[in-house]
Amino acid sequence: MPGIYIHIPYCRKACHYCDFHFSTTLSSKAQMIGAMKKEIEMQKNFFEDTHQKALINSIYFGGGTPSLLQIEELKDLMDTLHQYFQIDQHAEITLEANPDDLNPFKLQELLEASINRLSIGVQSFYQPHLKEMNRAHDVSMALKSIEDARRIGFSNISVDLIYGIPDQSNAMWTENLDMVFKLDIPHLSCYSLTVEPGTALAHFIRKGSRKDVDEEMAASHFHMLMKQAAENGYEQYEISNFCKNGMYSKHNSNYWKAEKFLGIGPSAHSFNGLYRQSNVSNNQQYIKSISEGKLPHTIENLTENEKYNEYLMVSLRTIWGCSFQYVEKNFGTKVLLDLEKSAQRFLQMGLIHINQGNVVLTTKGKLLADYVSRELFRTD
Ligand code: SF4
């Protein structure tokens, strides 16, 4: 079943490592919500060109910082989604939230606005690292937001953490993970710090005021993460995502299983099985275009090889792996036979195994996921 992503392009502060699309000037927020509502209406037939409303099983408010929205703005967007789409009664409705935006009153309002999953941007439980990354919250806010969310009634909570931060010792990384395990948080997303061009972090490193990322240290943290998460009962269902008791993120699982999704808002991407479309990454241009009745996107028609390579890359990152049956059904028998043949080399290297007709990365293979995908890509 398809999902909808809503990009809220505003943040309180610019984190030094971030290259997502956002603005720290909130003056256009009301106009932006109006434009997004209009875009939802304009895209109502994105999944199917019929008079029936498409059935949706996940909504994801990402950003940027969606927890900056006033509750009325959030409800307004939800009402518009209900007006043009059929939202499954068990739909997962996630809101990315920063700890500094969450208090018991706001959390109660979010529950009442039908948000049933919170993805909290903790990033670190070590105060100097939060400061170094220019995060707007501190450790005590992070702990309190998790405690409050639980108390108010959120059971589906995910926490984001960053590893591979220069000067982050193995012991510091273990302390971060131990905090998640101690708090018994059901879902964990962990990302290696990457230095994206154009970010403040890239500038500081170039000027020599910050150390560069140490790839070996990051690989060691990733190893520790896999081992310690497994020891504490977490399933690594995607390279960077871990959960307990089958609490997979429905929304992200949809992406990884090549399901269709619609992205609303500046910089959001969509995929309808045939082509990909990307909205302009500029708030003013987005608002202007929508006000003129034009969708502000570019369409990229994918070649068969591009569709195949994308499926391979994302599916290999998951516990379910790349399905032979899916490959044959969607790309043909020749592509399947080629894949079976090329996969032999990685089987012998111990980087993949075949599990019930699916190519799945081994623990060793997860460290080399990008390499394995690239080698299996079709380029002819
Ligand atoms: S809050 Fe999130 S989106 Fe905003 S700057 Fe920080 S990392 Fe980027």
Reported as a single tens digit per residue, the pLDDT across 56-66 is: 999 999 999 99
pLDDT at 140 (0 to 100): 98
Pick from 20, 3, 128: which is nearest to 66 by CA?
20
Taking each helix axis from N to C end, the angle separating 71-84 and 104-112, rounded to the nearest 10 degrees, works out to 10
Average pLDDT, the chain: 95
**Ligand 1: does its nearest atom lie under 6 Å from the Cβ of 64?**
yes
Residue 20: band (very low, low, confident or very high) from pLDDT cuts 50, 70, 90: very high
**Ligand 1: does its nearest atom lie under 6 Å from the Cβ of 314?**
no
Q: Please check the confidence at residue 21 and state whether its pLDDT lies above 80.
A: yes
pLDDT at 273 (0 to 100): 79
Q: Please check the confidence at residue 348 and state whether its pLDDT lies above 90.
A: yes
Q: Measured between alpha carbons, how far is 110 from 112 in angstroms, rounded to an integer?
A: 5
Ligand 1 atom nearest residue 18's Cα:
8
Is the separation of the CB atoms in 58 and 3 below 8 Å?
Answer: yes
Q: Please check the confidence at residue 233 and state whether its pLDDT lies above 80.
A: yes
Q: Please check the confidence at residue 274 and state whether its pLDDT lies above 90.
A: no
| Of 106-110, 302-306, 357-361, minimum mean pLDDT range | 302-306
Ligand 1 pocket, mutate which of 15, 102, 189 (most atoms under 8 A from CB): 15
pLDDT at 272 (0 to 100): 86
pLDDT at 275 (0 to 100): 85
Is the separation of the CB atoms in 142 and 97 below 8 Å?
Answer: no
- Chain-centre distance of CA 104, in angstroms? 25
Phi, psi of 102 (to 5 degrees): -100, 125
What DSSP string runs through 178-231?
HHHHHHT-SEEEEEE----TTSHHHHHHHHTSSPPP-HHHHHHHHHHHHHHHHH
- Measured in angstroms, how far is the CA atom of residue 63 from the centroid of ligand 1? 7
Residue 257: band (very low, low, confident or very high) from pLDDT cuts 50, 70, 90: confident
55 pairs with which residues across the strands?
Answer: 86
Pick from 239, 240, 237, 370: which is nearest to 309 by CA?
370
Q: Measured between alpha carbons, how far is 85 from 41 in angstroms, rounded to an integer?
A: 9
**Ligand 1: does its nearest atom lie under 6 Å from the Cβ of 22?**
yes
H or E element that contains 89: strand 86-97
pLDDT at 107 (0 to 100): 98
**Ligand 1: does its nearest atom lie under 6 Å from the Cβ of 11?**
yes
Q: Which residues contact 28 (CB under 8 A, 6 or more apart)?
A: 283, 284, 287
**Ligand 1: does its nearest atom lie under 6 Å from the Cβ of 20?**
yes
- Measured in angstroms, how far is the CA atom of residue 101 from the centroid of ligand 1? 13
Q: Which residues contact 117 (CB under 8 A, 6 or more apart)?
A: 92, 93, 94, 95, 154, 156, 157, 158, 249
Q: Measured between alpha carbons, how far is 20 from 362 in angstroms, rounded to an integer?
A: 31
pLDDT at 292 (0 to 100): 98
pLDDT at 1 (0 to 100): 84
Spell out the domain ranges in the chain: 3-255, 321-380
Residue 259: band (very low, low, confident or very high) from pLDDT cuts 50, 70, 90: confident
| Of 5-14, 47-56, 91-100, 271-280, minimum mean pLDDT range | 47-56
Q: Please check the confidence at residue 49 and state whether its pLDDT lies above 80.
A: no
Q: Measured between alpha carbons, how far is 329 from 296 in angstroms, rounded to an integer?
A: 33
Ligand 1 pocket, mutate which of 20, 141, 281 (most atoms under 8 A from CB): 20
pLDDT at 258 (0 to 100): 82
pLDDT at 380 (0 to 100): 77
Ligand 1 atom nearest residue 64's Cα:
3
Residue 52: band (very low, low, confident or very high) from pLDDT cuts 50, 70, 90: confident
- Measured in angstroms, how far is the CA atom of residue 62 from the centroid of ligand 1? 10
Q: Please check the confidence at residue 164 and state whether its pLDDT lies above 80.
A: yes
Q: Measured between alpha carbons, how far is 270 from 273 in angstroms, rounded to an integer?
A: 10
pLDDT in tens, 196-226: 999 999 999 999 999 999 999 999 999 999 9
Q: Measured between alpha carbons, how far is 63 from 364 in angstroms, rounded to an integer?
A: 32
Taking each helix axis from N to C end, the angle separating 29-42 and 283-291, rounded to the nearest 10 degrees, works out to 50
Residue range 319-347: average pLDDT? Answer: 95
3-255 maps to which CATH number? 3.20.20.70
Q: Which residue has the tokens 């949706």?
A: 56
